[in-house]
Chain A
Amino acid sequence: MIPIVGLIVGIVLGLLFQPSIPFALQPYVPIAIIAALDAVVGALRALSEGRFDDRVFVISFLSNVLIAALMVYLGDQMGVGAQLSTGVIVVLGIRIFANAAAIRRRYLHA
């Protein structure tokens, strides 16, 4: 319950303050969100399996976001542009779907 409240609080804060993202940071945000989503879906699965742990979640969340941002930055610096970001999105996307599928299997038996 508390995590959902946290999410909602974050959304409300964002809507309230409406900060604009600096142009230089714009390419990082979508990747960071995907990475964060991966951590969240992983946490949900762990929760469903009764293995959730705050420490693991926080660390995986932060490291995911940081590494994803680093990949984008590297891709930018090496001049390959969006290609590295695409790779990151593919890998994270597969993880998200796999975890979501595990949760689905557990609760919907499908």
Chain B
Amino acid sequence: MSGTSDSGNNTSPREAESLLDQLAESALDNAYYDVDRESEPNGIMRVFTLASLVALGFLLAVVALQSQNDRPATELERQALIDNIASRQELLDSRRTSALALQTEIDSLSSRIVSPSKGAQRDVLNAAAGGVVGDGVEIQLSSAPGDSAGGLISDLDVQLVVNGLWMSGAEAIDVGGSRLTSTSAIRSAGEGITVNFESISDPIVIRAIGSQGVLAKQFEASPSGRYLEDRAKNSGISWELSEADEIRMSAAPRKRLEVRHASAVKKGRS
């Protein structure tokens, strides 16, 4: 029933192989089996036994106490960290709120600066820094069908049309939906045409805001109008000028509005 015989004499190779079995087998110190049963209990040893047990109890109590005492400290530390995180979070939130408030303040202040000043508003329109709306004309240019020489609309054509429109009194122009500003370039890139470095596809629609009647009449009479007439006759391109109401144009691309090297000249009274 006890399962353990004198394991010191048990040397079957199988048992030697299995470390864990061996361990369990010899769990009881062999010395207990070797003791002379007949010897009288030794008084001093009994005292030592007692002392060992006292020591064990003492150790157990001390360790239990220690870990109990240490726990509040670690708990305290943890709580402090949590509090710290929470307070930082609060700080962040309040900073965020104040940033938002300041942003609103900036917006309201800048709108107060911009909105009453007619001059500033006009500058924004002139610089194509803001969207505009107004009546005007629309010119549609289409390349000649087929592969005739010079039948493609070139950048020069578009440049001349734009020039003619400015000459005729246009106040805002966009080409293929790309608003022209003072730094806009119209050029050919391979087969196509780019405006503000955005490519424009055929047919090209050029819209201009201005007095409708004046624009149409002046343009047709201008060198640009006559040039287009020539191109239509000789190369087969087609163009069409029509009046359009309530043309809406967006601002020029932000990239075109950046000014990095030029700075304003301080105005003395002139």
Listed in ascending order, the chain A residues whose CB lies under 8 Å from chain B are 2-3, 6-15, 18-21, 29-30, 32-33, 36-37, 39-40, 42, 45-46, 49, 51-62, 91, 94-95, 97-99, 102, 105-106
Contact = CB atoms under 8 A, between A and B. Distances in A.
A3 B48 CA distance: 11
Nearest to B49: A54
Interface of B: 1-4, 20, 23-25, 27-29, 31-33, 35, 37, 41-42, 45-46, 48-63, 65-66, 69
Given A36-B59, A42-B28, A91-B23, A14 B65 contact: yes
A19 B28 CA distance: 33
Contact of A54 (B28, B41, B58, B61): B41
Contacts of B62: 14, 18-19, 21, 29
Nearest to A8: B57
B57 A60 contact: no
B27 A94 contact: yes
A21 B29 contact: no
Secondary structure call for the B interface: helix
A2 B33 CA distance: 23
Contact of A99 (B28, B45, B60): B28
Given A10-B56, A13-B58, A33-B63, A105 B3 contact: yes
Nearest to A38: B27
A13 B54 contact: yes
22 contacts: A6-B57, A7-B53, A7-B56, A9-B54, A10-B53, A10-B60, A11-B57, A19-B62, A21-B63, A29-B59, A30-B63, A36-B59, A39-B52, A45-B28, A54-B41, A56-B35, A58-B48, A62-B52, A97-B24, A98-B23, A99-B27, A102-B3
A13 B233 CA distance: 119
Most chain B C-beta atoms within 10 Å of own C-beta, residue among A12, A21, A45, A57: A57
Nearest to A98: B27
A57 B49 contact: yes
A61 B119 CA distance: 100
Contact of A36 (B24, B46, B52): B52
B149 to A, nearest CB: 87
A15 B49 contact: no
B29 A29 contact: no
A39 B59 CA distance: 15
> B4, B48, B49: which has the most chain A beta carbons within 10 Å?
B49
B252 to A, nearest CB: 68
